[in-house]
Amino acid sequence: MDKSSTASSRTHEVFNQPPPLNNYNLLTTDPVVSSYLRTHHVAADELTDLGAWLGTPEAIELGRLANANPPILRSHDAAGNRIDEVEFHPAYHQLMQKTISAGIAAFPSETNQDHHYHLKRAVGMYLISQNEAGHGCPISMTYAAVPALRANPELAKIYEPMLRSHDYSGPLGPPSTKHSATSGMGMTEKQGGSDVRANTTVALETSGPESIITGHKWFCSAPMSDVFLILAKDSVGLSCYFVPRILPDGTRNTFIIERLKDKLGNRSNASSEIEFDHTVGYRVGEAGHGVRAIFEMVGFCRFDSMLGSAAQMRQGLVQAIHYTRNRNAFGRAVIDHDLMQNVLVDLAIESEAATLAFLRLATADDNSADPTQAAFRRIGVAIAKFLICKRAPAYMAEAMECLGGNGYVEESIMARLFRESPLNGIWEGSGNVNALDVLRAMAKEPQSTEALLDELEASRGANRSYDLALDAIKSDLSHLENPEWMARSLVERMGLLLQGSLMLANGSQAADIFCDSRLGTNHGSVYGTLGVTRDAKAILESSFELYS
C-alpha cells in the first residue's frame, strides 16, 4: 500500500470546531452584573478573583468530575455498624472548599456592617452555579438556616458560628470538635409532598430541651450535612425542629439514609429518603408554628433556586455565543446569520432580565430594614422564582440547539445544564406553590402588592407596551374573579412586568425589545421570533465581552 492510500484512510484534520471555552472571567465578561455592581458602588475584588478561577480549565474539570462521579451511600461499615454516610468524589470536596472559603455559605452576622452583603453573596452564588450547580444545594441551605436557627438563641450560640464559617470540614463530628458545619432541610413526606400539613412525623417532648422524633422524609437533600431543620408534629401542632447528625456527647443521632435518589440531573448532589427512629431534635421557634419558622429558611433557598436558573441561562448564553462566533457555516460565522442572531438576541435579553431580577431582589435583602423593601422582596421572590424557573428548560433547549449535535453530547456542558434546568422549578416550591404564595401575600400582606406596584410605576412612560401591560394588570387586580384559576397567568404577567421595569430602569439597550416582545405583540411562542431590530449585533457583542 502506497503512502497516499494510507493517508487517505486516516481521520481528516479537524477544523471549523470552536476551541474549548476556558481561561475567561465569569464576572468581568458579564456586563449586566459588572455594571450593576459599579452602579451600586460595590467593591468586588474577591468576586473578580472567584470569577477568574471559575473560568480556568481546572475549575471546569472539577465540575465535570463531580457530576461524572456521583455520590455513593455507605450505610454500614465493614463490621456491620450502621454509619449512614455519603461518599463523594474529591472534586466535590474541592468545590465545596472553594465556595465556602469565598463566604457564599455564610449568612451575615447581626452586627455585620457590609451594606451589600446579600448582593455580593448572591453574585458569588450566581458565579459558582454556572460552573457546577449540585454542590450549591448544601451551600444554599447552610446560608438559609441561620436566620431560622436564631429563633432558638441557645442553639444559635453553638451552631451559628459553625454555619457562618469560611472553612470547610467534611467529616461528621460533635460541635466541640468542629469549627464549621453545613445544613440540610427535610419538609416533604411520601404521602404529602408540598402539603406539609399531611405530615405524619411526630416529636415527643421530654423533660429536657430535646424531643424524640419518629417518622420519615421523602426528600432530604444533602444528607451528609451536620445539621438539619425539619418539620414534625408535636402536642401543639406542626413545629420546626433542629436535628444534628452527631450529638454533643459524640454519639451518632439516629438518622437512617434509606437510599439516594436517582435524579435526572443535579448528579453531584446527594438527595435522599431518610428515617427517624427515636431521633433527638430541638424545637426552633414557637410550637405549632413550624411552617412559619422554617419559611425563614425556605425563603432564602427559594431565592437561590431563582438565582440558579438565571445562572443556567447565563452559562447557556455564553456557550451559545462562543460556539457560534467560532463556527462557520455557508461562508461566514454562524453568529453573523440573521436567523441565528434573532435566536441569540432573544436568549440574551431573557438572560439579562433574569439576572437583573435576582440582583434587584438581593438589593432588597440588603435593605430589608425598610418595610417597603422587605414587602417588595416578600412577593418579588415568589414571582421571579415562578417565572424564571419556568422558562429555564425551554431556554436551555434553545441554547443547546445553537450548538447542534455538539450540544447534545456529554462532552458539552450543555447536556448537564439541560438536565439541570427543570430542577429549580420543582425545588423549594413548584410553580403552583409559588403562584399560590403570591396570592397569599396579596391577601394577607397587601403592603407587598403596594410595594410591587410602586416598583412597576417607577418605570412608567418609557415604553408603550410596558405602560399598556401595567394598566391591564392593575385593572385586573382591582376585580379578581377566581384568583386561584388565574394565578399562573397573573404571576407570569407580574414577573414580565417586573423584568421589563428593571430593563428600563437600568438603561438596557434591549429594554424596548424586551417590553415589545414579552409585554406587547412583537414575538411568537418560541425563542428567535423577535421583530426586526437594528441593534442585534451590538447586543450580542456586549452580552459576552471576551471575544467582542
- How far the first Cα of the chain sits from its last, in Å, is 49
Local confidence band at 4 (pLDDT 50, 70, 90 cut-offs)? low
Per-residue DSSP letter, 282: E
Q: Which of 13-17, 73-77, 277-281, 365-369 has the lowest mean pLDDT?
A: 13-17
pLDDT tens digits along 295-353:
889 999 999 999 999 999 999 999 999 999 999 999 999 999 999 999 999 999 999 99
pLDDT tens digits along 463-520:
999 999 999 999 999 988 899 999 999 999 999 999 999 999 999 999 999 999 999 9
Average the pLDDT over 375-402 and give the result. 98
H or E element that contains 341: helix 338-366
Average the pLDDT over 79-84 and give the result. 94
pLDDT tens digits along 409-426:
999 999 999 999 999 999
Q: Cell match 440558579: residue? A: 308
- Cell numbers at 218, concatenated: 421523602
The pLDDT of residue 288 = 95
pLDDT tens digits along 197-235:
899 999 999 999 999 999 999 999 899 999 999 999 999
Whole-number average pLDDT of the chain: 94
Local confidence band at 547 (pLDDT 50, 70, 90 cut-offs)? very low
DSSP string, 32-79: HHHHHHHHTT---HHHHHHHHHHTSHHHHHHHHHHHHS--EEEEE-TT
Local confidence band at 436 (pLDDT 50, 70, 90 cut-offs)? very high
6: pLDDT strictly greater than 80:
no
Local confidence band at 548 (pLDDT 50, 70, 90 cut-offs)? very low
Q: Higher pLDDT residue, 104 or 179?
A: 104
Which domains occur in the chain, in start order? 45-288 (2.40.110.20), 292-543 (1.20.140.10)
Average the pLDDT over 177-192 and give the result. 93
What pTM value is reported for the model?
Answer: 0.95
H or E element that contains 86: strand 82-87
DSSP string, 467-521: HHHHHHHHHHHHT-SSHHHHHHHHHHHHHHHHHHHHHHHTT-TTHHHHIIIIISS
- Cell numbers at 361, concatenated: 431582589
